[in-house]
Structure 1
Amino acid sequence: MKIPFSKFENGRKTHSNVSDVLDGEDINQVEELESEFASYIGVDYALSTSHGTDALHLAMLAFDLKRGDKVVCSVNAHPNVPEVVRHFDAEPVFIDIDPDSYNINLDLLENYLEENQSKKLKAVIVTHIAGNTVDLDRLYKIAKIYDVKIVEDACDALGATYKGGKIGSTGADITCFDFSSHLKKNVCNGGMMVTNDEDIMTRAKLLRNHGITQDEDALEYIYEVVDIGNDYSLSELNAAYIRAQVAIQDENVARQKEVAAMYNKALGGVKHITIPELKNDEHPFSLYIVKIDKNRDSFAVELKKVGIQTGLHYIPLHLLSYYKTKYSLRVNDYPVALRAYQQVLSLPIYSSMTDKEVKFVCDKIKNIASSRV
């Protein structure tokens, strides 16, 4: 049996939407997606982009990020987070993580903001690892006290909730989604940024299309450029596919929770394995991350030998050559993230995963764990 790390979802609605595009139906799939997504999240504005990284980059443009500005983020994030900051010649500031959720440690974040108040400090990007959130009420309170913008990196939090509200609607200045997130590649690419701030959305819409403006009453080929933007546009085909994906996302999350419950029951108490710590029932389990107490990589190799793919979320940013060299970072500068990195392993989890496949994964993990010294 082969168990991939993830699978893209397909169905009748997907084929219908894509066929509409190929058949030349008079449907603006991008506009429909943006409208439906805003309603799904419960937010005023949604703007699609060609990829999730583009959504983050456009968010920085909307904030008018400049050279020398600073943006705080978790040291446990995908490289695209500090990357979009560096493209402005701005500076990412890394914060260590909570040992259980692997998200940014809010105590350390607040300490940093208290000790480094500056007009150059523009924003905090908070990544929701596996779709599991930090204490958002506290995060927004901290942001208000220290006058910084909050961007939520929700690449794994589509359909996730916090106190009943969808992530993206709970109070961030901007939330960015990725429909083909790290290691969970889809058949299409696409991103989305959402906000309730009209000024942010107006600027983002302008910059999404090269800073071009057009007079509605003028000829279609007449345009003006009023700012420096880029092309972040999402294709109609990708939008059509993503529309179908969003329509069933709540069902997907429900199934992911069922799979996670099966993992919890089968793997809880297994020697050498630590299952995720649950603090509430809102965890969407976009990822299922366990800890392997020793030799994580050899454990992953043994799983690969029996056909089970795994993932890693993430290699801490301070261990990557560019950031380590650029900012003279040492291995032990972020001890919690370092320790987690040495142990964490993401298991396959997706809505189309069958009970039989889950049992297969659990049985193989138990077998491998039983032979470890």
Structure 2
Amino acid sequence: MRIPFNRYESGREEHGNVADVLEAEDLNQVVQLEDEFASYVGVEYALATSHGTSALHLAMLALDLKRGDKVVCSVNAHPSLPEVVRHFDAEPIFIDIEPQSYNINLDSLETYLEDNQSKKLKAVIVTHVGGLSVDLERLYSIAKIYNVKIVEDASEALGATCNGKKIGSTGADITCFNFSSHLKKNICNGGMLVTNDDEIMERAKLLRNHAIERDEDSLEYIYDVVDIGNNYSMSELEAAYIRAQIKKQDKNIQRQQEIASMYAKALEGTPHITLPDMSNDEHPFSLYIIKVDKNRDSFALELKKVGIECGLHYIPLHLLTYYKAKYSLKINNFPKALQSYQQVLSIPIYGSMSDKEVKYVCDKIKQIAKTRV
């Protein structure tokens, strides 16, 4: 049996939406997606982009990030986060993690902000690893005290909630989504930037298409350029497909939570394996991250041999060649992230997994765990 790390399945609605675009019957899919997404999340504005990284880059543009500015993020994040910051010749600042959730450690964040107050400190980007959020009320309180913007990376938190509100509507200045996130590649790309801030959305809309302005009362080919933007636009075909996918997301999360419970029950007490905390009812389990205390990579290779693909979320940023050299970072600078990195392993979990596939994964994990010494 082969169990991929992720699987996307298309149904009638995806095919129907795409066919409408190909037959030129409905060329307003992007606008419809933006309206539907804003309603789904419960936010005032949603702006579709070509990719999740585009949404993050556009967010930095909307915040008017400049050379020498500083943006704080978790050291346990996808490289796209510090990458978009560096494209502005700004400086990413890394913070260690909370070892149970793998998210940014709010105590460490607050300590850094207290010790490094500066007008150059523009924003904090917070990643919700596996879709599980940090204590958002505390995060927003910290941001208010130290006058920094909060940008949430919700690449793994589509449809996730915190205190009953969907991520994206809980109080961040900007939230960015990715419809083809790291190791969970979709058959199309796409991202979304959401906000309740009129000025941020106005600027993001302008910059999404080369900062081009047109006079609606003039000829269509007459335009002006009023700033430096780029092309971050999503295609109609991508929007058509994603629209149908969004409608299934709540059901997918419900199934992921069922699978997480199945994993927890079947793998309880397995030697050398630590399971994630199941106490938070709102955890969407976009990722199911276990810890392997005996040679994680060897364990993953054994799973691969029996057809089970795994993931890693993430390689800490301070271990990557560019950031290690650029900022003279040492391997022990972020001990909690380092310790977690040496053990964490993401195993398959997604809405279309069958009970048979879940049982197969559990059986093989238990079988391999017995061979660890």
TM-score bin (small chain): over 0.9
> What corresponds to 1:315 in structure 2?
315
> What corresponds to 2:56 in structure 1?
56
> What corresponds to 1:81 in structure 2?
81
Once the two structures are TM-superposed, the CA of residue 10 in structure 1 deviates from its matched residue by 1.3
Q: Which amino acid aligns with 2:211?
A: G
> What corresponds to 1:135 in structure 2?
135
Once the two structures are TM-superposed, the CA of residue 294 in structure 1 deviates from its matched residue by 1.4
> What corresponds to 2:266 in structure 1?
266
> What corresponds to 1:345 in structure 2?
345
> What corresponds to 2:231 in structure 1?
231
Count, aligned residues: 373
Q: Distance in 1 between matches of 2:139 and 2:360?
A: 40
- Equivalent positions of 1:214-225 (< 5 A) are 214-225=214-225
> What corresponds to 2:160 in structure 1?
160
> What corresponds to 1:121 in structure 2?
121
Q: Which amino acid aligns with 2:141?
A: K
Gaps of 5+ in 2: none
SS in 2 for 1:331: coil
SS in 1 for 2:177: strand
Q: Distance in 1 between matches of 2:185 and 2:219?
A: 41
Q: Which amino acid aligns with 1:76?
A: N
The answer (yes or no) to whether the contact 2:27–2:236 under 8 Å persists in 1 is: no
What are the Cα deviations for residues 277-308 of structure 1, in whole angstroms up to 9, with x where unaligned?
Answer: 13410000000000001100000000000000
> What corresponds to 1:44 in structure 2?
44
> What corresponds to 2:68 in structure 1?
68
The answer (yes or no) to whether the contact 2:96–2:105 under 8 Å persists in 1 is: yes
SS in 1 for 2:332: helix
The answer (yes or no) to whether the contact 1:18–1:241 under 8 Å persists in 2 is: yes
Q: Distance in 2 between matches of 1:26 and 1:64?
A: 35
The answer (yes or no) to whether the contact 1:49–1:55 under 8 Å persists in 2 is: yes
Which shows bigger deviation, 159-168 or 19-28?
19-28
What are the Cα deviations for residues 11-44 of structure 1, in whole angstroms up to 9, with x where unaligned?
Answer: 1111111111111113400000000000000000
SS in 2 for 1:241: helix
- Equivalent positions of 1:241-256 (< 5 A) are 241-256=241-256
> What corresponds to 2:99 in structure 1?
99
What are the Cα deviations for residues 168-193 of structure 1, in whole angstroms up to 9, with x where unaligned?
Answer: 00000000000000000000000000
> What corresponds to 2:189 in structure 1?
189
Q: Which amino acid aligns with 1:326?
A: K
What are the Cα deviations for residues 100-137 of structure 1, in whole angstroms up to 9, with x where unaligned?
Answer: 00000000000000000000000000000000000000
Q: Distance in 2 between matches of 1:292 and 1:76?
A: 18
SS in 1 for 2:73: strand
The answer (yes or no) to whether the contact 1:131–1:287 under 8 Å persists in 2 is: yes
Q: Distance in 2 between matches of 1:353 and 1:127?
A: 25
Q: Quick check: 1:34 aligned with 2:34? A: yes
Once the two structures are TM-superposed, the CA of residue 213 in structure 1 deviates from its matched residue by 0.3
What are the Cα deviations for residues 38-80 of structure 1, in whole angstroms up to 9, with x where unaligned?
Answer: 0000000000000000000000000000000000000000000
Q: Which amino acid aligns with 2:356?
A: K
SS in 1 for 2:322: helix
Q: Which amino acid aligns with 1:163?
A: N
Q: Which amino acid aligns with 1:342?
A: Q
> What corresponds to 1:356 in structure 2?
356
Once the two structures are TM-superposed, the CA of residue 94 in structure 1 deviates from its matched residue by 0.1
Once the two structures are TM-superposed, the CA of residue 360 in structure 1 deviates from its matched residue by 0.2
* Displacement over 6 Å in runs of 4+: none
Q: Distance in 1 between matches of 2:269 and 2:144?
A: 42
The answer (yes or no) to whether the contact 2:256–2:286 under 8 Å persists in 1 is: yes
RMSD value, Cα: 0.5
Q: Which amino acid aligns with 1:160?
A: A
Once the two structures are TM-superposed, the CA of residue 150 in structure 1 deviates from its matched residue by 0.1
Q: Which amino acid aligns with 1:307?
A: G
Q: Which amino acid aligns with 2:212?
A: I
> What corresponds to 1:108 in structure 2?
108
TM-score w.r.t. the length of structure 2 is: 0.99
> What corresponds to 1:203 in structure 2?
203
Gaps of 5+ in 1: none
The answer (yes or no) to whether the contact 2:123–2:148 under 8 Å persists in 1 is: yes
Q: Which amino acid aligns with 1:267?
A: L
SS in 2 for 1:332: coil
Percent of matched pairs sharing the same residue: 75
The answer (yes or no) to whether the contact 1:9–1:245 under 8 Å persists in 2 is: no
Q: Distance in 1 between matches of 2:278 and 2:69?
A: 36
Q: Distance in 1 between matches of 2:62 and 2:231?
A: 14
